[in-house]
Amino acid sequence: MVEQLLDSLAHLPMQRALLACLLCGLGCSLLSVFVVLMRMPLVGVAMSHSAFAGAVIGMLLGLHPTASGFVLCLLVAGVLGPVSDRTRLPPENTLSIFFSFMMGLAFLGIGMLSKTRAGVLDLMWGNLLSLSGRDVALLGWTTLVLILFLFLFFKEIRAVLFSRTLAASSGVPEKFIYYALLFLVGAVVSSNLSTVGGLLIFALLIQPGATALQLAYDLKLFFLISALAGVSACVLGLALSYILDLPSGASVVMMATLIFALSYIFSPKRRAAKSS
């Protein structure tokens, strides 16, 4: 079976699927550090539904769904932070409003689509084996920008994650960092729409970070564990879906959940908290 799996890697669709899996796991898991530590779990669903709504609108208008999803998601990502700050609404409330609005918009669009609902389901669940070269290139560029951002602004990101107020008081451009991170969530979510799918991205934006939270007190190690958890979930999930002929997106999420469950069971931090 392993031989069969390795043989399949000789084919271009499988190579693309594997590469996309690696990039998706890496991008989402790095951002899940931000999502988990800022306690913004809804950011994943708000963004994925924005991308989903954008894709549906694109289908209605005869545009490329990935491109229109990407544009609407970036638009929402760009306004989310400033709207939350200006209205002084808690971020979770702003995210909930955006999430429900985008979900409504998406379903409104689906209702208006008469013949192409199968394509919409691809956006919800993803289809790793039908990726184009352009999809993979977009994923690659988005992940590269994200990694560069994390390297260049690591100390500022740490300050913002610790406390936006204290980061601002020490002279960190906290709004720029915070809004940029939200924008990057939007970019990563929308570029992954056709890999694991809009709905399942939510899991990859939470579980790797939640896994790292069980294991690390050092932020650099936290990013590393999160990235390893995300990439492993994607690669193992893809292998599982190939071997057992299961839907690829759902398999990836099952793997991410299994990794989180293991980290929770063996968490030294949880045990230390119990004994103190």
Least distance to other proteins from the beta carbon of 37, Å? 7
Token pair listed for 114: 């008469």
Which member of 57, 172, 180, 206 binds other proteins (CB under 8 A)?
172
Q: Which of 27, 91, 22, 37 is nearest to 210 (CA)?
A: 37
Q: Which of residues 22-61 bind other proteins (CB under 8 A)?
A: 37
Is 206 an interacting residue with respect to other proteins (CB under 8 A)? Answer: no
- Residue 20 or 37 with smaller CB distance to other proteins: 37
Is 149 an interacting residue with respect to other proteins (CB under 8 A)? Answer: no
Write 224-230 long-range contacts (CB < 8 A, 24+): 226/29, 226/30, 226/32, 226/33, 227/25, 227/26, 227/29, 227/30, 228/29, 229/29, 229/256, 229/259, 229/260, 229/263, 230/25, 230/26, 230/28, 230/29, 230/30, 230/32, 230/204, 230/256
Name the DSSP class of 195: T
Least distance to other proteins from the beta carbon of 160, Å? 9
Is 266 an interacting residue with respect to other proteins (CB under 8 A)? Answer: no
Chain position carrying tokens 């924005």:
50
Stretch that binds other proteins, among 113-121, 147-155, 191-199, 234-242 (CB under 8 A): 147-155
Is 216 an interacting residue with respect to other proteins (CB under 8 A)? Answer: yes
How many residues touch other proteins under the rule CB under 8 A: the total is: 31
Stretch that binds other proteins, among 74-82, 105-113, 118-126, 154-162 (CB under 8 A): 154-162
Asked if residue 187 lies in contact with residue 142, where contact means CB atoms within 8 angstroms, the answer is yes
Which member of 19, 168, 228, 235 binds other proteins (CB under 8 A)?
168
Is 89 an interacting residue with respect to other proteins (CB under 8 A)? Answer: no
Asked if residue 263 lies in contact with residue 214, where contact means CB atoms within 8 angstroms, the answer is yes
Name the DSSP class of 172: -
Stretch that binds other proteins, among 15-23, 102-110, 114-122, 163-171 (CB under 8 A): 163-171
Is 229 an interacting residue with respect to other proteins (CB under 8 A)? Answer: no
